[in-house]
């Protein structure tokens, strides 16, 4: 039975038709675009398709999708970069699709804000089950593009941080930890939460969080010329203070 054609791409902001959730498939391969569209339609979604990452970003900016299915191997901008940019303005659920069953790629995808990861070739049953599981989770809070905690400023989209207006040189992991802490300043983040935010679920040794937090704290102390604002909450995790 032929797969139903995906709905035409929206050209302006509009509401969800007849109360149906909406999904955007960002996929250049015709076979997988049609297969995933059929599966999503079977899960109750109104489905749209974009053939490139650039087009997918343009469409997502004018329509509030509930779910985004993104292929990694896109022409031009790859799916990881698409996911990173999407997370600066949308809280939609994101499922990454790739032909490589690589642990490294999974970690990258989760760090960039993906909710799940599916490897090609996937079965309709597997993809449908993963989509339903993702939909049961609360949508992630929308990323605030610029966060401030005292003299610290974190530009999430630009992946830059500064202290009192001076650039702060951080590794990728240190920036991700600072970004995770600055998302909820004043609130205690457990080591497990930070590990999942930065390395992805199931990474392993929680001590790696402590090591990188220690490196981040030393850089903040040097930049501030004062005690750093990251507070250790014994037996729980860390908190970023908002006061100078």
What's the structural domain count of the chain?
Answer: 2
Please, what is the end-to-end C-alpha distance for the chain in angstroms? 64
Q: pLDDT value at position 207? A: 85
Quick one: 124 and 181 in the same domain? no
pLDDT of residue 187: 86
Task: Burial-class residue 122 by CB neighbours within 10 Å (0-12, 13-18, 19+).
Answer: middle
Tokens 């920036």 belong to 175
One domain, residues 126 and 191:
no
Quick check: is 5 in a domain?
no
216 domain residue, yes or no:
yes
The predicted structure's pLDDT at residue 109: 79
Tell me if 9 is assigned to some domain: no
Assess contact for 12 and 98: CB atoms under 8 A.
no
Residue 195 within any structural domain of the chain: yes
Looking at the structure, tell me whether residues 181 and 112 fall in a common domain.
no
Tell me if 158 is assigned to some domain.
Answer: yes
pTM over 0.85: no
Residues 234 and 187 grouped into a single domain: yes
pLDDT for the residue 134: 85
On the CB side of 153, CA atoms within 13 Å amount to 12
Q: How far is CA 43 from CA 21, 125, 163, 228, in A?
A: 9, 11, 47, 48
Does residue 131 sit in the same domain as residue 216?
no
CATH code where residue 234 lies? 1.10.10.10
The residue among 116, 135, 154 that closes a domain is: 135
Asked if 51 and 109 sit in the same domain, the reply is yes
Residue 10 lies in a domain: no
The pLDDT of residue 15 is 37
| Of 135, 166, 186, the domain-final residue | 135
Q: Pick out the chain residues at pLDDT < 50.
A: 1-18
Q: What is the pLDDT of residue 121?
A: 85
Residues 121 and 59 in one domain: yes
Q: State which residues form the domain around 56.
A: 17-135
């Amino acid at each position: 039975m032929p797969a139903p054609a995906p709905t035409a791409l929206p050209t302006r902001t509009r509401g969800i038709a007849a109360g149906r959730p909406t999904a955007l498939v960002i996929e250049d391969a015709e076979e997988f675009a049609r297969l995933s569209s059929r599966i999503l339609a079977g899960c109750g979604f109104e489905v749209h398709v974009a053939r490139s990452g650039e087009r997918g970003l343009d469409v997502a900016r004018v329509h509030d999708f509930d779910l985004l299915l993104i292929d990694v191997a896109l022409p031009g901008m790859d799916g990881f970069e698409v996911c990173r940019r999407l997370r600066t303005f949308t809280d939609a659920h994101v499922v990454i699709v790739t032909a490589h069953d690589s642990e490294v790629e999974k970690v990258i995808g989760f760090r960039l804000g993906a909710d799940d990861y599916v490897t090609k070739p996937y079965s309709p049953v597997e993809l449908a089950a993963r989509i339903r599981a993702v939909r049961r989770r609360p949508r992630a809070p929308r990323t605030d593009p610029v966060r401030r905690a005292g003299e610290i400023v974190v530009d999430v989209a630009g992946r830059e941080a500064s202290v009192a207006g001076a650039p702060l040189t951080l590794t990728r992991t240190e920036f991700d930890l600072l970004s995770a802490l600055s998302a909820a300043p004043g609130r205690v983040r457990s080591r497990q939460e930070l590990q999942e935010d930065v390395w992805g679920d199931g990474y392993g040794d929680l001590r790696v969080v402590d090591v990188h937090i220690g490196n981040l704290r030393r850089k903040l102390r040097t930049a501030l010329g004062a005690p750093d604002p990251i507070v250790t909450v014994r037996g729980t995790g860390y908190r970023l203070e908002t006061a100078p």
